[in-house]
Structure 1
């Protein structure tokens, strides 16, 4: 929610008082003074208020933000829970304790880079269509990849069901049945549908990168590690507008 709304939920703070405290620089989020009432906060934010004597009162202790990359194996669902299938959370030991969720998904049998976090604002911004972060896949096909496929993907493919045309995609063929594909959106089964549109079928799909962040080559399927601070910032698009 917005910071000003968080403050006015306190019984001792009216809307006017909260505005005055913000303008006076007497509110800190994550140790930093914040004067903008629209600043987004959530249950993980540390929020402090400066008392009249200059001391700082903790309104919400918050918790460490967590950002992970997982090498998703085949045969698990990109979800926090599922009644019939194992989920990616089964591979991540602190998932339940840290309230992790997924800012993106991979199909049941698709492998590769998957992100997990407890930072809702980062996750929402990352998932926005306007973020335009490229996603790179290694695609293996049933039939040889036709020479004209690269130009067709670059021009965009019309999906009648959604009444839209995919954004230009980059295809680099490395083997008659295999190619690197970079797309800038994440439509339902998009890669499989793109190849189906040119009469081919995807038999294996692996996501290698999201934006400049590549899957750590040391991670075996089912293994994970924390993102570095640099990787977190690389994946941070322009801040999403918070309307809550």
Structure 2
């Protein structure tokens, strides 16, 4: 990898500003000042910027416990900040969010710079399970399990959504597992059952479960096992 690109990906510096730092002599590679932006950095090279060691992470896989009143986009929308502002990482705004949640929905959000990995989560063809804890305004109808398992028809859709699994915690609290990610899908599914969602929290995507130790707004890197499960 070119040295200017390496610096840019490890810091908040643009490629142009990385080149300026190089020309000033601020960069050392294995203890030697390097000013050539095209210098090739290998995986064993120790790069320092003004004496501080830089560490390059080629791929990132992050679990975030999304708080309410944030949006799953690379920039803020409708007065809400992006969830990416919660990540204390260089170039966080360039990462991809694998599956959007509404501003008022909380819970497991997966973030990566590996486009193929993210696609396996979001592609309808992959049928990746997403489990939500749902709180409802009214007691759930007795036929809800059967109707959702059969595939419920949503307004404005031309065909029913795919079958979903419902686990009843109480008449107003349930766990719902779906394999799609249509616009406001969970809320629309319960609206079709004559009910209204009052709170929504995503607990699991595929085999990746939200880490219980993460408070709203906190995040961690995924383990190799979690990454490989997708």
* Short-chain TM bin: 0.7 to 0.9
The 5 A counterparts of 1:90-239 are: 90-94=85-89, 96-97=91-92, 99-235=94-230
CA contact (8 A) 1:103 1:124 kept: yes
Aligned residues: 179
1:162 is displaced (CA, Å) by: 2.7
Q: Which residue of the other structure, out of 75, 86, 103, is the alignment partner of 1:81?
A: 75
Name the TM-score, length of structure 1 as normaliser. Answer: 0.69
**1:187-220, CA deviations, whole angstroms, 9 ceiling, x for partnerless residues?**
1101000000010000000000001110000000
**1:136-158, CA deviations, whole angstroms, 9 ceiling, x for partnerless residues?**
00000000011111111001112
Name the TM-score, length of structure 2 as normaliser. Answer: 0.73
Give the SS at the match of 2:99.
Answer: coil
Give the SS at the match of 1:158.
Answer: coil
The 5 A counterparts of 1:55-70 are: 63-70=57-64
The separation in 1 between residues aligned to 2:102 and 2:93, in whole angstroms, is 24
1:96 is displaced (CA, Å) by: 2.4
The separation in 2 between residues aligned to 1:85 and 1:208, in whole angstroms, is 22
Is 2:65 the partner of 1:71? Answer: yes
The separation in 2 between residues aligned to 1:195 and 1:105, in whole angstroms, is 19
1:103 is displaced (CA, Å) by: 1.4
Compute the RMSD of aligned alpha carbons.
2.1
CA contact (8 A) 2:63 2:222 kept: yes
